[in-house]
Amino acid sequence: MDIRIGHGYDVHALAEGLPLWLGGVKIEHTKGCVAHSDGDVAIHAICDAMLGALALGDIGKLFPDTDAAYKGIDSKILLRRVCDVVAERGYSISNIDCTIAMQRPKLRPHIDTMRAVLAEVMGIEVDRVSVKATTTERLGFEGREEGVSTHAVVLLIKHV
């Protein structure tokens, strides 16, 4: 059995009046992520974790932000494509764990919806998808509500 671990980290700036997409879910808030895509920082970190596990670079390499094809794109489409890359190489997803750092709004009410949506897009059981959220106690750019960050780790398995 070949076991691969990957880590992903992503940050987006927040700006007033933009839609806020996190973990594939649209969340009501006064601010949203500034991005070429829909700015779903959680999905981007998860994609980078999977690509990292296979040493395939990052989503910026796969889906360049200079390419108009990805302007405003639903990040769930990017996630599905990354899952296809993982499957093409014979790996399956054992589990994913991610932590979203954001001061406001409280993300707890949205966590289980995010897990369900992510599991559906990735084609895995929901108990293999962990989403956690933390404030940063008003410290740093997340705490000042200037941006949002996400760390993700993933374990991939291939039976050989």
Whether residue 156 contacts residue 91, with contact meaning beta carbons closer than 8 Å, is answered with yes
Q: How far apart are CA 51 and CA 43, in angstroms?
A: 12
Binding to Mg ion, residues 56-75 (CB under 5 A): none
Q: Which stretch binds Mg ion (CB under 5 A): 43-51, 64-72, 107-115, 128-136?
A: 43-51
Q: How far apart are CA 42 and CA 11, in angstroms?
A: 9
Question: What are the distances in angstroms from CA 98 to CA 6, 8, 46, 118, 160?
Answer: 12, 9, 7, 11, 28
CB closer to Mg ion, 9 vs 94? 9
Q: Which stretch binds Mg ion (CB under 5 A): 9-17, 66-74, 90-98, 130-138?
A: 9-17
Q: How far apart are CA 14 and CA 31, in angstroms?
A: 6
Figure out which of the listed residues 6, 8, 10, 63 binds Mg ion, where binding follows CB under 5 A: 10
Q: Which stretch binds Mg ion (CB under 5 A): 2-10, 46-54, 106-114, 138-146?
A: 2-10
Q: Which stretch binds Mg ion (CB under 5 A): 36-44, 49-57, 72-80, 124-132?
A: 36-44
Q: How far apart are CA 135 and CA 103, in angstroms?
A: 4
CA 153 to chain centre: 10
Figure out which of the listed residues 24, 32, 42, 44 binds Mg ion, where binding follows CB under 5 A: 44
Cβ 79 to Mg ion, closest distance in Å?
12
CB closer to Mg ion, 11 vs 157? 11
Cβ 157 to Mg ion, closest distance in Å?
26
